[in-house]
Amino acid sequence: MSTIKDKEWNSLWSNDDLNVWIDAFPDPDEAFYPSTPIIDAHHHLFPDGRKHNPSFDSTRFASVGRASTTSKYLREEWNHDTSKVNVVASVYVEGRSGYDKSLRFPSVGEASFVRKIHEESPSSGLCKGFVGVIDILGSDDDIREAIKAHRSALDGSGVIFCGIRLSLAHDPRFFCVPRPERVSDYARGLRIIGSHGLTVDVWIYHTQIPELVELAELCTDTKFICDHVAMPLGSDEAVFTEWKKSMTRLSQLPNVHVKLGRLDDPVRVLPGFD
């Protein structure tokens, strides 16, 4: 089985590369509708790159756009990236920034981090929405208490607690999130999330779309959001055919939505994935 070599991955993008790419856009009047209000529905912020994340394996996942192991990505960088379009609000999606191990639920620290960013400039709309993370394999009481704690951390800030993200991405060629063998083990917790009016962003690869179908069918009252169009692992015809077949099945479920994003992701063009 093909694997990713560090030098192949690290050579793909740097902040300088991205700045050149962004600055090379044509005049906004030609490329976009600059007066059209846009909500950035999925982004992360990193105070010091991703090196703050103790579970982040920098040898296998060293540089994804600006979210690298060495570069911060905060308001200044976000403003630069969105300067040529009319972004009126954004949704911050969990990236393990601001975790506080002194708290019963350390991920509540990320809610506080997002609150601070938003309150620095509420009119900008940055971090108007928040998608956090909760251990949905915990007890029912712990899940409910974690929801309450996240909401309390955001209370009065104007930030909307939209939902949680469930990371299931698993492929030995690329990146594997620790997870139970059976995705059905998540169903109990996901039903609780849905009963509190929260959505569930799901990060998977295209080979795992059947798992999302299973979860959505088990939790019909919970709204799921498939992130990054299920991240196809490759760009050849066979991958596209498999992805299209699975996405067609997914589209039949009324409680599933899809985010269009990361369509330029390097994972689609790396050697060994085509």
CA distance 110 to 132: 7
Radius of gyration, alpha carbons of the chain: 19
β-strands 175-176, 170-171: how paired? antiparallel
| Tens digit of pLDDT at every position of the chain (274 positions) | 333 333 333 444 455 666 666 666 666 555 567 778 999 999 999 997 654 444 444 333 333 344 444 578 899 999 988 888 889 999 999 999 999 999 999 999 999 999 999 999 999 999 999 999 999 999 999 999 999 999 999 999 999 999 999 999 888 877 777 888 889 999 999 999 999 999 999 999 999 999 999 999 999 999 999 999 999 888 788 888 999 999 999 999 999 999 988 766 655 544 444 3
Q: What's CA 248's distance to the chain center, in Å?
A: 22
On whether the pTM is more than 0.85, the answer is no
Q: Domains, the chain, ranges and CATH?
A: 1-163 (no CATH), 168-274 (3.20.20.140)
Residue 221 makes CB contacts below 8 A (sequence gap 6+) with 191, 194, 195, 255
